Each structure stands twice: as structure tokens, then as C-alpha cells.
Structure 1
Amino acid sequence: MMGGTDEIGDARAVRAKYYEMHPLVALLTFPQDASRCAKRSGRCRKQHFREGGDHVERALPGADKDEVASLRHYTLAKQEVAASVRAAKQLFQAQGEREAAEHCQALLVQLAEDRFNLAVVGQFKRGKSTLMNAVLGRDLLPTGLLPLTSAITTLCYGPRERVVLHRKGWAWEQEVPLAQLAAYITELGNPGNEKGLVEARVELPLPFLRRGLHFIDTPGIGSARHENTATTYAFLPQMAAVIFVTSVEAPLSEAEEGFLVDIRGQVRQLFVVVNKMDVLGDTDRDDVFDYIHTHVEQLLGTGDAHLYPLSARDGLIAKLNHDDAGIHRSGLAPLEQALTTFLAEEQGRTFLVSILDRALRLVVSADLTLATAPADGDIEPLGSALELQRTMESLRASLLAGAPLSAVRNAAEPTAADPRIIDQAIAAGRSPAREAGGRQAKAHTRTCPICAAQGQALFAFFAQWQYRLATDTTAQRAFAAERGLCPVHTWQYQEMASPQGISDGYAPLIETLAVELSRLLERVVERVAAPLAALLADAATCAACRLVRETAAEQVEQLLAHLVTEEGRADYASSAGFCLPHLQATLAHLEHSVDGTIEHRAVAEFLLREQVQRLEDLADDLRSYSLKRDALRRGLLNQEEADAWRRALVQVVGERAARGGAMIADQGTV
């Protein structure tokens, strides 16, 4: 029995360690199960979290699966929001709207960091810092009679406790001990912000901060220092959610009323705290609270505002003394529970909506109608600002409607791709080779003229396609519908594309493949190898292979038209000639021609005779190369002998860069 007890203890220790290492799992899993506990305080949650208690134990089976699904849905929704912001940034860049593009870049940074700004705002001396200390359960932020500086103080996650200062004019951030925080963020330690503090970032190893939450203390509005109010208002666009703190001492001043009106249309989530309830008697307390409640609802234009009456000071004292009854009396517990539920269930949704709101304001205020001129044909890579606005509004509506995050971006039903995009990319690749025409045979190149044209076409194709694939969502959809490129051309594309470009371009393809494979799971009892093979790109479906084939066919036509003339044969005789695969393709074309039979036979005889002579000369060059190397007489090598080894490979199989996966296609068409 003792062994069994030890095993149970070990299991709980393992669970506790797991949740300590994965606080996001604990944060999302535990609050949904916490309703079973009569104790709703942060201390109770922390105790069960650390000890692997009943809450965690009951939620553990299936928690991993649910958590993976939840994070996956959030990631998909976030990527869709990021795509819209990125499109807006490109639109602004194309229109020369530099400031708007920089704002979009800042939004992308916030998305990448998953930074959720929960700001505590209010008038000077309402108890904002005390409330934050009470929520943290630590006397961390300085409080006092004098106002704080005009700088922002941010609490965020870090592996160790430290303070990082961002100071005006400093290229590098400054790290100071936590004990010196007051010397920078209080008027006493930093009068008039003479130290030029912009932001003090306090990093703490607290689990509830680990999910990208930035708990922010703002300068008090309405104080004698106007820069404090200005700083708070300037930070307003970056606030995803707000805890607005007023108090019963002088309820709702003019500055507070104005601030509530200003933020009601900009902040998605608002918690209104009525602090210092402990200074009033029971009768006065109810009257004052009712007055504040009614007035707040009028200012916000709502009839269901939820206010939290409490005493932050009493809550902090109770937290420091581990007094559960005192926490309950202080009124802190309902606010903490609301914050916990919000952070676990609505933080991601609110965060994404706040990003969309800011991006939409940029798009609407810019009053743009069209993006840059289309890159190819009549398809606009970025689309119009109006289309982008509609996309953003649709995303926003889905999020606000409370739809599951998985429904925000329905990867199972990808948007229909426009096949013209691939056609235009191929046409753009063929243009340089088409313009060269029969001049390929005139050029004194040391390779097959058709291979040279194919290489030129592939370079032009990849040069424009890798950029478009990285920046154009319509091109990405078309690429996903085509299942990408064949293996050989995939790696040729990789040599020209950047890691970020590949990431942007291939994400829709990988998601599409994941959806298709998930459908095969339903048919796993049947034969699935053939359907799986259909998901893989090959020479028949690869756009680059198609370009290679079409370029070769076009070049064969042009070169044959040139070879029927004496000038054309003279040009060919002075060139490197065809490689054997392209000689075969040219002769096959001649055999299938119905006109000029005698003339075409003469061309075929000429080509074969030239090829025999070239191969004999090439064999001589190969043997001469080996002999002179064996004799240690490299200085005797001429150019023909020095590159004979490479010309031999080209003769047999063609240029590697020019042929790719098309080499295994119908030899009569390459």
C-alpha cells in the first residue's frame, strides 16, 4: 500500500511538473474545471496547479488533445489575420503610404510576439498600482501620494525577475535590479522624467503572464502633469483590453468621463473597477456604487455594464497574509475570476479583433481604391483596398459572432484557384526565349541552344514566380491547387527563394495537403496509395516542367525554320549543337511533319552528320584531357579539352538547370 501511495504521489509530482513547464495548458484547462471548487481565489488555483490537485487530475485526460486543437484553431485564425495585415502593408507600400505601412509592420510584430496588452488605466490616485499588486499577490509596483512618471510600466513573462529600461536616446536597453524600479517610475526617484524613461519592462516568471500577456500600468490621466495623460492616450491604440479603475472618493471626474467615452469604440474588452469601497459605510457604499454603475452605463451606451466593487488595498493585504476570507471580503475574487475566464477563453479572440480593428482603421482612413498596376494580365496581385476591407470585416464579424476559431478560416474548403495565374507565370517565363528565337543557334555558346533557351525561360519564371508566390495570396492558392512543383524544380526554386518567401508560399500548399490526407483517413480501410500519389506533383503537373516543354517545342519550330536556310546551317555548325535528347525531339518533330518532306530529310541528315562529328571530336577531347592530366601537363590543355567532361554530360542528358523533371516526360515533346 505504501508503494501505491508513493506511486500516486510521484504521478501527481509528474503532473505538477508538466503543468509547471506548460503553463498555457494549465491556464486553458484549469479554469474550465475550476467551477467545481468552492474556492475561486487565485491562491486556490495556484495551490491546485502546484500540487496536481483534483482540478488538474480531472482535466488531465484528453487535455493534451483539446489543447492541441485549441492552439491549432487559434494559429489558423491568427495566420488569416496576419495575411490581411500583410496585404494591407503591401498595398500601402505600393501607394507610397510609408507611415501606414509602418503601422502595419508594427501590427505584424505584435502578431508574431502574440503580445496581448491588458492595460490598467484611470485617474491619478485611484489605486491602479495597488490593484495590480493585489492581482499579482506581491507588493511589487511602487505606490504613494505623488504621481508616477509619464512612462509605461509593463509586466510580462521572463525566466527570471528583472527590470529592463527603454530610455529616450539610448540605443541599448538597460537592465537594473527590481529593487531599483522606484528610482525610475516614480516622481520622487525620477522628477519630471529627467532620466528620459520611455518604458520599464518588468519580467516575472509567473505562469499567467506566459501566454503573451503584457500587464501594463499607465500614467494617471487628469493629473497636473499633462504629459501623463498624453502618454496614456498615445498608448490607447495598442490596448487590447482595459481595466478602468475609478474610486468612491470622487466618483467619475470629468477626465474619467471623457476617457471612458474615448475608449468605448477602441477597446474590445473593458473591466470597470470601483476601488476603495472600504472607506465607505454600507449605506453610502451602495448609493455611491449605484450612481457610478448607472453613469458608466450611460457613458458606454449599454445597459449591462459589469462593474467590480472592491478594495485593492484590503485584497493585497489578504493576499500577502494568505487570508482567503479577507480576499473574499475585499471583493477581489470576482474580478480575478473574470480575468481568468477572459484570459483562458477570450484573450485570443479579443487580441485578433483588436489587430483587425487597427488595420481596418488604417485602410479606411487611407481612402485607397486600387493597389498597384497588375503584375500580369488583368489579375491584381494585391486586389483593391475595398476587397481587402471586405475580407477584414468578414474576419472580424466571424470573431465577434463567437464562432469557433476553427471556423474563422475553413481550411477544409480552400478558395477556388484562378488557373490563369499559372498560365501567366509560364508565359512570362517564355518571353525571353521567344524574343531570342533563332538567334540561339547563332550564339557561340558552349551548350545546346534549346537547353540555353530552357534555362533562360526557367530563370525568368523563377525570378518573378518566387516573389509573387511570397506576396500574392491568389498565386498561393493557385500553387496549392497545382500541388506545387516536381522534386527537381522544387529545389531549383529553393535556390532562388528566401526562407520567408518559401514559408509564405508553401503554407497554403502544406495546409491543403494536410486536409487531403485527413480525408484519406476516412478511407484507410480501402486502397489509399493511388489517391496519395495524386497529391504529389510530377512532370505532368509541374508548371516549370510545362514551361520547359513549351519552350522546347517553340525553339524546335524556330530553329528548324532557320536550319532550312544556308545561313541557318552555318550558324548551327559554329554552335555547340543539340544535346542528344533535343536532337531526338527535333528529329521526332521532323518525322511528324507533313510538309517539306524532302527538305526536312536534308535537315535531319545534316543534323545527324553534325552530331556524329561533334561526338567524335568530343571523345578525342576527353581522351586528350585524361592523357595530359596523367602526364602532369595541365598547361597543355586547351579550352575544348578542359571542359570536355561537362560537354559530354550535356550531350548525353542535356543541361541540368534546363531540363529538370521534364526529362522523364514524353521525349517527343521536350
Structure 2
Amino acid sequence: MTAADGPGGALDERASSSAGAGGEVAALREYRRRRLDLADLVRAALYVARDQHDEQTSNRLRQQLARLAEDRFELAVVGQFSRGKSTLMNAMLGSCYLPTGALPMTTVVTTIRYGTTPRATVYSRGAAVGIEVPLDEVARYVSRAGAGREDRRVVRVEVEVPAELLKLGFWFVDTPGIGSSIAANSATTRRYLPRADAVIFVTGFDAALTETESDFLAAVGEQVPMPFLVVNKRDLVDAHGAAEVVELVRGQALRQGHQAVEVFAVSALQALEGRLAGDPCGVRGSGLPLLEHALITFLARNKARLFLKNVTHRAQAVMEQLHRDMLLGHLPHDGGPGTDAVAAAFETQLTDCEARLRAAAATAATRLATEFPARLAERGAGWRSELSERLATHIDRAVADATGARRGRRAAWQSAAVSLEGVGGPIVDEWASRRAAEVTELLATLVSEEITELVRLPRQPGVLGARLAGLSLPSDRDDLTGWSPQDLPSLGLPGCAWSLPLPSAHLRRLRFTFGHQDRLAEGLTEALDSAVRATEATIRAAFEDAACNWLRQLHEQAERDLHDAADRFRANLRTPPSAQDVDTVTGLLRQLVSFDAALNTWAGSPTSAPPQSPGDPLVSEQVGGIRSCVVCAELERALFDYLRHAQFRLATRQKAQGDFAQAGGFCTLHTWQYVAIAAPTGIAAAYPTLAAVVADHLDVLRRCRPTRAELAAALDNFIGDGDGCPACAAVREAEQHAITRLATHPPPSPDLAAQTPLCLRHLAHVVAAVPGTRDCQAMLAALSAALRRDAEDMRAYVLKREAFHQDLVTSQEAAAHQEAVRLLAGCPALVRSRNDGTLIP
């Protein structure tokens, strides 16, 4: 396989032609700096939103912090149902990771990222933590017929696969197909679209750019960059026909304003089969390598900049909304319309929204009452047939069990019926659960227009209020875009009783004798058919009741959301914010504009991080804990060695105890460090002499009857806190030796200096003793680089914590604050304080 045959080869080819590892690291460092700069702006706005008790805005800002913390560039693959989106992604990933088929196989948003081990995580509605499932069971949770989708109320699935292409640092997103009979699928994709960072739009040679696709193509262009337009199923047409279709699609895209979009003719199925069979010729003939090469080039040049711009624009929209909400409280001071006039006009508009909300709910109720039962009845025959087939497979076993004990006719019948009832209960429950997903889709499709209105209207108070107050209207595409199944209530279905009664007339007709089990089986089949009809009718009636309750919940939720939004507007209108908060948000918006403008001239970053190397100041991980100043580390060792030997001498040598008492003992700091390593017996042996000496001094002071001031001065001089401390003397001696050695033998290279930076205090001592300036420059650079790295790591730590992504925090980021403090102030074990509060090294 050549370099162009697969994503891995293309990636290697790109990497081999790069400017070098140094340029890659510099670009990564610049990207990280810009990402943290943007995170600081978003976090500052988050603090203002918290001060305003604005939970909604806080959550939305935190979502942007999460995107920055995850560094998550989402490349969505969108298009009409049955265009082969999942097959295309499988081909690019190199294996059948995603389910494919003739039916809609993707009904929830599925993200695919790099992972060393293939696995999938399913997220249910309202659950912050997902459930890991085998990768080969993903279809159960994402496909239309999946048994687990409705049971777990699945809203999204995340897949990890070891695909080389994903090492470029982006996430593939498989979206539900638009244009199918399932309205929720199109709604889900439209609602997701504003979150995407870029889009691959897939159509097909079998019917290129249908009316539905053209409308959706226009919507894509309004909300998110679309660098690629793929025409799939290239194997269906000849070369001339393919060229005509490609030109047709390109012309349509140009007419809709997509100037920079590229069009690719691809056979995803041929590419996937070629990759699975190890056939490079088949892969090349599919047209996929051209798309992959263009994708890699696009990501290499644009991913970092485009990701930051997208987050910038989203954060800007949220901050603009926060700013508008705050300005509402300043209307009288800003010369705008009076608060009372705005409030009165708003209440009138709100009344109109409430009326439209009720009208939408009433229209949906009428449609359910007139159309829904008939739609369910159309499914009745198929439902009964499916349920009968699943139950009938258990008749032979029930007959064999009933006749094996040679019971009488009635007893045999009752035994077989009880057996079928026991087996059939779970089957009926599982079957009804599957039907619940189908009925939910039917409901969403039947009243999709009314759902749109019921979800859209509660988002209007902010728009209406801004217009009435004369403020700029929201440009927030996230809040005003469509709906998804997550916005809908669950279809609650009560349990359906399952029984298999035997009509008395049938029992009289039954001429059962032992050895003729076929007559018993015939009777059970007839009874089963009757029971299935009754059960199916009962379940249909239950679905009708559940649908009415579902619509009522949807309406009530819409009313609550509308009233909550109205209350939010009223509170903003009546509550003047602090001038400081307004100035803060105004300044943040200006900084975001400048940040966005700077991105336009930025060259971007490489596609992914280079391999980690121990000496790389950007990506190195400290092994064994916190980085320490080389002098501090040596002094810690010297202090520990001194105290270790001292505790033995003090416990066993009378002369050592006497000298210790005459010196006044250890200072406060070293006293407790000594206690921490010495045994109780050793302490009890070491301190009697010192305690007696102190007692003698106190007695002398007492007999002299000094004044209060003289007594205080004498006690202060006596304490001294370390002037004669032998441990302090040992530390000072070791410190002088270490500084002299570094001054006469500085690190031979800047790289070595960078690995062992000095703390600020010891750097000052060493620089004062170094004869030349060249070595000083290297040591200054080493401390500067270490502090700068710690500063970035601390910012990254705060970002991930604020985004509730503690799982992404690295050990270096977690320790950065301690390392920075040690580099600025030295080791805490080597610094003690006088009584007047000054510090003594």
C-alpha cells in the first residue's frame, strides 16, 4: 500500500514533510497558549454570571470551557438517510466500527475518537456518567430497531477506536440521516449542527442533491464551515456520468454560496471492502484517498484556528446575551425606554406567546385524537404477526412438558397454558418496549410542526425583551435552533398483563388423549392467537393513553420553560447590576473581538502533538512528584541526614544533650521536624537537660523581678527562635557549599539548566557568586521557562476543574501550583519565621 492508500500512510507522508519537530513543538505551544487565553476570558465571564446568580448562562459558559478542556474538534458527517455516511466513516477508519444497513442505523448522535482499545459508552437522558458496552452492540443503542435505545433512553454514544486518522486530534460525528420518515432524526441533526466545528456533507450518485438535501445544504452553510461535499456510491455510474453529477453538485453548492467547498466522488463500500481485504488497488479506485488527503491537509492547516474561532463565537454569543440581560437593569440610566413601559409591552407579548403555545398544544391534541389511533391500527396486523411468531416457538416445549407427566386433559391444558404464560410475560414486555420506541418516533413525526412551536416559543422571551428594550437581538444559534428527542418527555407505558385463557367451548371440543400432542398444540395455537389479539389491542389502547399523557407533559414543560424565561427577563429588568460587572463583561467582549481578529492572521498548528520526550518543556511529565530547586533539594537531604544522626546522638550521648541545651535547642521549625522522625523514647532522653536549663533561666528571671517590658525582652532574646539552632547551622553550611559549587561549576548546557531550575532565592545567591554573565543567562532562562510552564499548567488545571473535567487533569497540572510556589518561595521545610513575622532562610 502506498502512502496515499490510507489515512495512516497519508499522515506519515505529511509528517515526513513537516518543517521539523522544533516547529511542531513551537506551534503546539502557541496553540496551547491561545487556548488558555480564551479559557481565561470565558472563565472570567463565568464568575460574573455566578455573581448574577444566572445558572443558565453559567452552564452555557461551562460548556465552552469543557470544549476547551477536551480540545475537542468535532467533524460531523451529515446527509440524507441511506447515503452511506456510516460506511464512509468505517472506510476512513479502516474497519466496520459503526453499524450500517438499509434501515436508519444512526438515530442518535454518535461520536468517534481515538482510543487504544475499541469500546463504546452509552449516555442516557439526564445521566452525567455513561455505561460502557461492547463495540459490537452499538447497533442496539443507535439504530431504529435497537432494543436498548428506548430502554435506556439513549441520547448519545461515544466510540473509541485505534484508527490512525483520529490521531490528527479530531472527533468524527455520525449524525442521524435527514429526510427519512423519522422526524426526530432530522430534528436531532439540525439541533446538533451548531455544535460542529466543520462538516462533511454526503449525497449520492443514485439521486444527487434532492430537494431535502438542497435545503439542508443551505442550512449547513449558514451555521458551520463545510469544507467537503462527498458524492457517494461512485460504483453506480460510469466515469462520464460521475463527472456530470460532480459538476451538477458543485454548481448547486456555488449557487448557495459555498465558495470554498471541494466535491469528491467516492465509493465508500468499495473503499471499505478494499481496506478489509488488503486491496490497495480497490482503495485507490474508490476515490477515498483523495478525500483523505484533502481532509488531512485541511486539518493540518485549519483545525486549531477553526476550533478556537468556533469556541470564540459561541462564547461571544453567550456573553452578549449576558451583557444584554445586565443592560436591562440599566435602561433608565442609559436613556432607553422606561422600565414600566418595557414591562407592560412585554406582558402583552407574553400573553400572545402563551396563546400560541396553547394553540399549538390544542392542534397537536386534535391530530393525535383523529390520526394517531388509525396510524396505530395500521401497524396492528404486523405487530400481531411478529408477537405470535415469537411466542409460537415455545408451544412445542410447553406441550412436551405438559404431557410428559401423563396428566388428564384439563390438567395438561392448564399446565401448558401456565408454561406459556410464564415464558410469554417477558417476551411481551420486551416486545412492548421495542414498540415504545417506534410509537415515540410516530408521535414526533405526526406532530413535528407543533413540537417545533412548543420548543421554540419558550425561547422567545429573551428575544422579545431585547427588541422591546431597544437592545441588539441575540445572534445565538444554539438557543434558537430546532429541537431534538432530548427536549421531549419519555413515553411512559404501563405494564401489560399477559394471560392465556382457554375458552370453555374450545375445551369441550378438545379430544385430547395421551400420545396425541398435536391436538393440544392446535388448541394452544388457537388460544395464543386470541391472547395475542387481545394483548395487542390492550397495548394499542395503552399507547393512546400514553400519547395523551406525553403531549400533556410536553405542553406543561413548555409552559414552565416559558414562564421561567419570562421570570428571568422580569428579574433582569428590575435588578440593576453592579457597574463593575457591566464593565467586566464589556471589556471581555472587546477582548474576544481582538482575540478573534488575531486568529485571522495566525498560521495555525500541526495536526497533532509530537511524541512525548522527557526533555521537552512543553509535554514533559515530572516523575516522582514536584520539581524542586536543585539547591533546595540538596538542603532537604542535608537537613534530613543531620536530624537523623542528631536524634541518635541526643538519645544516647550526654555531651550531645548538654551542648544541645546550651545552644537553646532547635528552632521551632526544626524542633517539630526532629519530633517527626525521632522515637518517643529518644525525645524523652534528649530533652530533660534542655528543659532543666530553660527552667533555671525562668527561675532567674522570676527572682530578678523584672518589669513587664524587661521580662518580655528577656524571653524574646532567650527564645531567639534559631539563632543558635544547630540544624540551621548545618543547613547554612550545606547551602553555602551548594552555591559555591554551582557558581564555580554551572550546568554545562542550557538543556541541563532547564531540567534543574533554581528557586528565586537561590538563583539570586548563585548569580551573586558567579563570575561571568553567560551562565547567569542560562539559569535565568531556566527559571523563567519553568515558571511559564507552571503558569500554563495552573491555568489548564483551573480550566479542567471549572469544566468539571477532573479526569483530564495531568499529574503535572495537578502539581503545578506547588511547584510554582516552591520556585518562587523555596522549600517550606527550609524557611522559618521570627517572632516579628519576618522570614529567615
TM-score relative to the length of structure 2: 0.42
Partner of 1:45: 9
Amino acid in the other structure paired with 1:363 = M
Map 1:451-470 onto structure 2 (within 5 A). Answer: none
**Displacement of 1:93:** 2.7
The structure number with the bigger radius of gyration is 2
Partner of 2:305: 349
Amino acid in the other structure paired with 1:267 = V
Partner of 1:230: 187
Confirm whether residue 216 of structure 1 aligns to residue 160 of structure 2.
Answer: no
Residues in 1 aligned to 2:175 and 2:24: alpha-carbon distance in whole angstroms? 33
Residues in 1 aligned to 2:67 and 2:782: alpha-carbon distance in whole angstroms? 36
Residues in 1 aligned to 2:238 and 2:279: alpha-carbon distance in whole angstroms? 22
Partner of 2:266: 310
Deviation track 1:579-621 (CA, whole Å, cap 9, x = no partner) reads xxxxxxxxxxxxxxxxxxxxxxxxxxxxxxxxxxxxxxxxxxx
Residues in 1 aligned to 2:165 and 2:7: alpha-carbon distance in whole angstroms? 13
Q: Confirm or deny: 8 A CA contact 2:75 2:173 kept in the other structure.
A: yes
Residues in 2 aligned to 1:206 and 1:331: alpha-carbon distance in whole angstroms? 19
* 1:525–1:173 CA distance, 2 compared to 1 (3 A): same
* 1:163–1:305 CA distance, 2 compared to 1 (3 A): closer
Q: Confirm or deny: 8 A CA contact 1:153 1:202 kept in the other structure.
A: yes
Say which SS state the counterpart of residue 70 (structure 1) adopts. helix
Map 1:59-70 onto structure 2 (within 5 A). Answer: 63-70=20-27
* 1:385–1:162 CA distance, 2 compared to 1 (3 A): same
Confirm whether residue 286 of structure 1 aligns to residue 240 of structure 2.
Answer: no
Confirm whether residue 133 of structure 1 aligns to residue 314 of structure 2.
Answer: no
Q: Confirm or deny: 8 A CA contact 2:115 2:161 kept in the other structure.
A: yes
Partner of 1:262: 219
Q: Confirm or deny: 8 A CA contact 2:198 2:225 kept in the other structure.
A: yes
* 1:38–1:132 CA distance, 2 compared to 1 (3 A): closer
Say which SS state the counterpart of residue 202 (structure 1) adopts. strand
Map 1:219-618 onto structure 2 (within 5 A). Answer: 219-299=176-256, 301-368=257-324, 380=580, 383-403=583-603, 526=773, 529=776
Long gaps (5+) in structure 2: 331-577, 607-710, 714-756, 785-831
* 1:125–1:251 CA distance, 2 compared to 1 (3 A): same
* 1:447–1:303 CA distance, 2 compared to 1 (3 A): farther
Q: Percent identity?
A: 34
Match of 1:78 among 14, 28, 35: 35
- In the alignment of these two chains, the number of paired residues is 392
Q: Confirm or deny: 8 A CA contact 2:301 2:605 kept in the other structure.
A: no
Amino acid in the other structure paired with 1:257 = S
Say which SS state the counterpart of residue 264 (structure 1) adopts. helix
Residues in 1 aligned to 2:177 and 2:267: alpha-carbon distance in whole angstroms? 19
Say which SS state the counterpart of residue 206 (structure 2) adopts. coil
Q: Confirm or deny: 8 A CA contact 1:120 1:216 kept in the other structure.
A: yes
**Displacement of 1:287:** 2.2
* 1:286–1:533 CA distance, 2 compared to 1 (3 A): closer
* 1:119–1:168 CA distance, 2 compared to 1 (3 A): same
Amino acid in the other structure paired with 1:388 = L
Deviation track 1:461-519 (CA, whole Å, cap 9, x = no partner) reads xxxxxxxxxxxxxxxxxxxxxxxxxxxxxxxxxxxxxxxxxxxxxxxxx9xx9xxx9xx
Q: Confirm or deny: 8 A CA contact 1:240 1:269 kept in the other structure.
A: no
Say which SS state the counterpart of residue 187 (structure 1) adopts. coil
* 1:447–1:107 CA distance, 2 compared to 1 (3 A): farther
**Displacement of 1:320:** 1.7
Match of 1:145 among 77, 102, 110: 102
Residues in 2 aligned to 1:343 and 1:197: alpha-carbon distance in whole angstroms? 31
Say which SS state the counterpart of residue 342 (structure 1) adopts. helix
Residues in 2 aligned to 1:64 and 1:288: alpha-carbon distance in whole angstroms? 43
Q: Confirm or deny: 8 A CA contact 2:24 2:605 kept in the other structure.
A: no
**Displacement of 1:295:** 0.7
Deviation track 1:147-203 (CA, whole Å, cap 9, x = no partner) reads 135311111122311121112355642222122122222123348745411112111
Amino acid in the other structure paired with 1:119 = A
Confirm whether residue 185 of structure 1 aligns to residue 147 of structure 2.
Answer: no
Amino acid in the other structure paired with 1:202 = V
* 1:101–1:447 CA distance, 2 compared to 1 (3 A): farther
Partner of 1:121: 78
Partner of 2:60: 103
Q: Confirm or deny: 8 A CA contact 2:300 2:605 kept in the other structure.
A: no
Partner of 1:477: none
Residues in 1 aligned to 2:241 and 2:118: alpha-carbon distance in whole angstroms? 42
Deviation track 1:401-457 (CA, whole Å, cap 9, x = no partner) reads 344579xxxxxxxxxxxxxxxxxxxxxxxxxxxxxxxxxxxxxxx999xxxxxxxxx
Confirm whether residue 163 of structure 1 aligns to residue 127 of structure 2.
Answer: no
Residues in 1 aligned to 2:781 and 2:278: alpha-carbon distance in whole angstroms? 64
**Displacement of 1:268:** 3.5
Residues in 1 aligned to 2:137 and 2:774: alpha-carbon distance in whole angstroms? 68
Partner of 2:822: none
Residues in 1 aligned to 2:198 and 2:781: alpha-carbon distance in whole angstroms? 48
Long gaps (5+) in structure 1: 1-36, 407-445, 449-509, 538-648, 665-670
Q: Confirm or deny: 8 A CA contact 1:150 1:193 kept in the other structure.
A: no
* 1:365–1:270 CA distance, 2 compared to 1 (3 A): farther
**Displacement of 1:259:** 2.2
